[in-house]
Amino acid sequence: MDDTRAVFEALIAAQNDGEPVALATIIAAQGSVPRHEGSKLLVRADGTFVGTVGGGQMEALVIKEALDALAQGNARTVSYSLNDIAAGDPGVCGGTVQIFIEPIGVSPTLLVIGGGHVGKALAELGKWMGFRVLLSDDRPEFCNEDYAPGLDGYYICKASELPAQIKITAQTHIAAVTRGLPIDIDLIPILLATDAPYIGLIGSRRRWALTVNALKERGLSEAEIARVRAPIGLELNAETPKEIAISIMAEITMLRRGGDGKPMKSATDSQQN
C-alpha cells in the first residue's frame, strides 16, 4: 500500500471513530529534499502517525507542529531549510520545503446513556444539531435502529461497561439519563476518568446529593465531583422529554461556545445602559 492511500484510509478511520487528527501536506519544495509536493503525514493526538514528509528531524518538528495545531484548532503553514545543521536547520539535503498543517476535527459526539423517553428525545435533538450521536442502554428494546433511527452507534451494555467499548475523547459530551442511584455511583467514577468535556447526570437535587455522598465514600474529591453537571441542563422548568432535551443541549452548547446562559435581553439592556 502506498503512503497516500494509507494516509487517507487512516483519515477515514479517524473520522468514523470520532478521532481528531492533523494532516500535513508538502505544498512546495525546492532543491534537494527527501519528499516533494503532495507527500502527506497524518498525526494522531497521541503522537502516532501514518505516512511521511521526509523523516528525520524535520518530520519530528512537523509532528510537534501538528500536535500544536490539534490543541489550538488552527491550521498553519511552516517552512524548513535543509542546509546547515549548525545553523539550526533540520537537515543538510540542500533544499527547502513548505508544509501546510491542517487539524481535521470531527463533529462533536453526544453519548446518551439511557434510552428512555428523555434519552430518545435527546438523541434525536443531538442528531438534528449535527452531533455524532451514540446511544446506550442495557435494555435492547430501548437501544436499536427501529426505536431511535439514524444514530451513529448503539451500545447494548451496562452503563459502567461503556468506556471499554467507546473511545471517549475531549470531543465526547456525555448525558447520563439513567434510571437511578445504583447505576450512577458505578458509572460516574468511570466517566470522570475520561477526557469528556461535559458529563451531565439527570435527576433531582436530592438524588444528586445522595449520589455525591456515595461518591465521597468511594474516595472521590470535591474537585472531581464538581466536573459533573447535575442536575443536568439549564433551568427552563422543563417537563416533557423534548423540553428536557432542549435544556440539556442548551447547556452543552453554552459550554462549547463559551456562553453564560443569561437571557439575551438582559445583555442587550446592559449594553444600552
Dist CA 242 CA 249 (whole Å)? 11
- pLDDT over 70 at 267, yes or no: no
| Spatial distance between the Cα atoms of 4 and 239, rounded to a whole number of angstroms | 52
114, amino acid identity: G
3-state helix, strand, coil in the chain (%, to 5): 40, 20, 35
Q: Are 35 and 54 in contact (CB under 8 A)?
A: yes
pLDDT of residue 133: 95
Residue among 145, 143, 146 nearest 119 (CA): 143
Measured CA angle at 252 (ends 139, 126), to 5 deg = 50
Q: Rounded to two decimals, what is the model's pTM?
A: 0.71
Non-local (6+) Cβ contacts of 149 within 8 A are: none
CA separation for the pair 179, 171 (Å, rounded): 25
Architecture of domain 109-257: 3-Layer(aba) Sandwich (3.40)
Q: Which residue has the cell 416533557?
A: 240
Q: CA-CA distances (angstroms) from residue 59 to 49, 51, 79, 92, 187?
A: 11, 10, 12, 14, 41
Identify the pLDDT of residue 89: 40
Among 217, 247, 225, 223, CA closest to 235: 247
At 3, the pLDDT band (50, 70, 90 cuts) reads confident
Average of per-residue pLDDT across 122-126: 98
Question: Is pLDDT at 85 greater than 80 in this prediction?
Answer: no
Please give the pLDDT value at position 269.
63
pLDDT at 90 > cutoff 60: no
Q: Are 26 and 99 in contact (CB under 8 A)?
A: yes
Contacts of 6 by beta carbon, 8 Å cutoff, 6+ apart: 50, 51
Q: What are the tens digits of pLDDT across the range 199-209?
A: 999 999 999 99
Average pLDDT over residues 59-81: 87
Rounded CA separation 205/202 (Å) = 9
Question: Per-domain residue ranges for the chain?
Answer: 3-104, 109-257
Amino acid at 13: A
Residue 1 pLDDT > 80: no
Look at residues 232, 227, 229 and name the one whose alpha carbon lies nearest to residue 246: 232
